[in-house]
A = this chain, B = another copy of it.
Amino acid sequence: MQNKRQLLVETALQLFYQHGVNSIGINEVIKHSGIAKKTLYNYFASKEELVLATLAERHQRFINWLTAQLSDCHSNRELAEKLFSGLDLWFHNKADSLGNFRGCFFINTAAEFGDPSSAIHQACLQHKRAVEALIAAHMPQPNTALLSLLCILKEGAIVCAYVNHQPDAARQSLQALLPLLHD
């Protein structure tokens, strides 16, 4: 029954995202999921593997959400509007599938696992690359400079919303960006 595994990943993702990976021990995941430790170690060889599975789950969920947000863009301006409107919803806890906003799981986790050669850090990097590629794929008029700017503003808005307690950062970004986009 593979939904034990799914339940473990879901529980761990929730806890890791809300409190940080290093603050949550295996026993906490056990307790909250109601699954035995032995079962966990049946599915995952180590905590690191569980963490990687939660990153993969979050990655897929975020990509799905973002894909839905960015559908049907007919101009770069529309793309920017949809991107930052989506972020704005997320920051205000109106993006159900992303859970309670606590910054970017990948930025936070990369900060906890600083060694760039670690598998966890690499997974965070790969996520960011994939998101950039997804935005690029939804760009009607390819423009690498604009792509970079969107990504930088996106990361900045996430950090400001989280660390700086500035949940309107996405809207502010969009307001500042719009005068640049005339197409």
A152-B163 in contact given A20-B112, A179-B180 (Cβ < 8 Å): no
User: Which residues of the other chain, B, contact A155 by a CB distance below 8 angstroms?
Assistant: 155-156, 159-160, 163-164
Number of copies of chain A assembled together: 2
Given that A20-B111, A155-B155 are known contacts, is A128 also in contact with B164, CB under 8 Å in the complex? yes
Q: Which of B125, B152, B157, B169 contacts A172 (CB 8 A)?
A: B152
Within 8 A of B (CB), among A151-181: 151-160, 162-166, 169, 172-173, 175-176, 179-180
On chain A, which size bracket covers the interface? Answer: 35 or more
Q: With the chains together, A125 CA to B102 CA distance in Å? A: 14
**A153-B159 Cα distance, complex, nearest whole Å:** 10
* A83-127 interface code vs B (CB 8 A; 1 in, 0 out): 000000000000000000011001111111111100000001100
Q: How far is the CA of A156 from the CA of B180 in the complex (A)?
A: 18
- In the complex, which residues of chain B have a beta carbon less than 8 angstroms from the beta carbon of A151? 156, 160, 164
Bound: A111/B155 CA distance, A: 14
Q: Which residues of B contact A173 (CB under 8 A)?
A: 149, 152
Nearest 8 pairs between A and B by C-beta?
A: A156-B156, A111-B111, A152-B156, A108-B111, A155-B159, A149-B176, A155-B156, A148-B172
- On A, residues with C-beta under 8 Å from B are 18-20, 22-23, 102-103, 106-116, 124-125, 128-129, 132, 145-146, 148-149, 151-160, 162-166, 169, 172-173, 175-176, 179-180
Apart from A107-B111, A152-B169, A158-B159, list 6 A-B contacts with CB within 8 A.
Answer: A20-B112, A116-B165, A149-B173, A155-B163, A156-B157, A180-B180
